[in-house]
Chain A
Amino acid sequence: MRLDISGLTFSYDGKRKILNDISLSFHEGEFVAILGRNGAGKTTFFKNLLGLLKCQEGRMSIDGAELAGLSVRERAKRLAYIPQSTSTVFSYSVLTSVLMGTTNNISTLSTPSDAQYRRARLAMEKFGIATLAGRTVDSLSGGERQLVLCARAIAQQADVLIFDEPTSNLDWGNQIRTLSTIRGLVDEGYLALVSTHNVEQALNYASRLVLLDGGRIVADGSPGELASSSILGEFYDLEVDISRINGHYVCIPKGEGNVVD
């Protein structure tokens, strides 16, 4: 599976370019962390991929098929979106929420059948939340909700998983568990595109880092290539020490906070 993006350019007002000539190629089994400051264009990039914004300039294709030529339903069979959080205005059960992932296989005038229930069940079992099936989503903890969203995406049977800051609303333990879950999915062959603000986690969990600034790609490479204080320090306008302890990257900002000897 290949996801190719070439010359993607986007502007909301016709003047300021939020995405400027983005060209990238991804393939299955990659864990890509998209880093960038607020307003760097991460969300706009995702919205273009998902078809939430109409592509203005450039081409996006998956296995050679133009994304722009796919119907909403067809696109949902290739790309799944995992938002930061899901609406709990109406409290659906975990099972129904996960079943919603199978919507791309249900015709407009019909409802989930046995096949879709089976898909949902397998997805729930994969993340160990089958026992929560009858609970409502709003009664779950943040970490459990994230698992429901992951299960929903897997039930979608897409090969590209797009995560919008998956760890930002979670406590530290759930952040690590969520990242491990994504890592596991990538090992199975999914392509994960993950936007994040946490450089350290990106270095330790992702297989590839893409740095966006002002709508342009400023760096693209493996953690080993980009884990340097000059690249990342300059990117975030921060003096930082990056070292490796037991194979893990540790980033320490210089002169920040109270360091007690």
Chain B
Amino acid sequence: MNKRTVQELHFYKEDDRRTIPLLVILFIAVFFISFAIGRYPVDPLTLVKVLLSRLFPVEKTWSTQVETVIFNIRLPRVLIGAFIGAGLSLSGLVYQGIFQNPMVSPDVLGSTSGAGFGSALALLWGLGYIPIFSMSFIFGLLAVFLVLLMSRFVRGQKVLTLVLGGIMISSLFNAALSFVKLVADTDDVLPQITYYLIGSLTSTRTVDLAACAIVVTVSSVVLFLIRWQLNVMTLSDEEAVSLGVDTKTIRLIAIVFATLMTAVCTASAGMIGWVGLVIPHLVRMTNGCDYRKTIPATLLMGSSFLMLVDTVSRTLTTSEIPIGILTSFIGSPFFLYLIIREGKRT
């Protein structure tokens, strides 16, 4: 919107809240904190120099060890944390809108469990990364469509039906996952599956980072392009159609790309819960509901959040706490708070 329009719409107060720049500052701050804290702390100045040295000739004032720590250990981990945080949060934000339901998220809808089961099955069969990711995606998508299908047949409270359907489908896929574990080789595959799915950024490989970076970036761009249609989709289907939105196509695009992000995150780092529920709520509390604004805000806040939680998980105790455990400690009470608030509304 240009300046003239802003003047014409002087009564338009909504855009006055300048939260995006604040979130950018938050992101940068957390990024540097993630390097400054840990077993091999890297101070911000050295970090900037080392990063710049890859692009420009910079006088080398640091040891080779520092460079190794940054490029081989810390940077990939911080980046994958950022991409996974952004991806899971954005898929939560998108699911909530198209299902007109603030209580859903990748894990509540069962897509995380579906993706986890798909990954585990691929691991059981000893497959490589691409098949792991593909099966994660297929079963994640299957879970969402099963929940959606089920909610079509149940009359009554729409908000609760989706949540309860998600719980059922999640438990179904968790049972299937247990079965996979049961038949897995206890010496070799079982520990691999268990550790894989617990939700951790410890064993991040380059291929994980590359896949997350590509999928989350592409999906974010696609979802950002349809941001106005996503706004209208938060209304009832009757309203959205009569306003001129092709709801079937938009819903399909949104589900496919949101689930793609969930799948790649789960295939790369296991089941990290609650991020997709908590972050979109925090974003709406501070930025309003408009997808034109909430999409960038969610990407920034989600990535900052997971980088921060990962830093805590690395440093809180002498041995690392898997990040999925920490996000659950934060997410469960938050979900309880939302249920209580929802109860008060209706």
Contacts and interface: CB of A to CB of B under 8 A. Distances in A.
A113 B292 CA distance: 13
Nearest to A83: B239
Given A90-B97, A117-B8, A52 B241 contact: yes
Interface in B1-52: 1-2, 4-5, 8-9, 11-14
Residue among A72, A87, A91, A121 with max Cβ neighbours from chain B (10 Å): A72
A221 interface: no
Interface in A2-47: 47
Interface stretch (B111-119, B242-250, B330-338): B242-250
B245 A72 contact: yes
A112 B228 contact: yes
A236 interface: no
Residue among B2, B242, B284 with max Cβ neighbours from chain A (10 Å): B242
B14 A52 contact: no
A101 B243 contact: yes
Interface string B274-311: 00000000001000111010000000000000000000
A117 B242 contact: no
Given A89-B234, A92-B289, A51 B241 contact: yes
25 contacts: A71-B246, A72-B241, A72-B245, A76-B243, A81-B239, A81-B242, A86-B236, A87-B236, A91-B288, A91-B289, A93-B13, A93-B14, A95-B9, A100-B232, A100-B235, A103-B243, A108-B250, A109-B226, A112-B228, A114-B2, A114-B5, A121-B8, A133-B12, A134-B13, A136-B288
Given A87-B236, A95-B9, 19 more contacts: A50-B238, A51-B242, A52-B241, A71-B246, A72-B241, A72-B245, A75-B244, A76-B243, A81-B242, A89-B234, A90-B97, A100-B231, A106-B228, A110-B228, A111-B227, A114-B1, A117-B9, A121-B8, A134-B12
Interface of A: 47, 50-52, 71-73, 75-77, 79-81, 83, 86-87, 89-93, 95-96, 100-101, 103-104, 106, 108-114, 117-118, 121, 130-131, 133-134, 136, 152, 156, 162
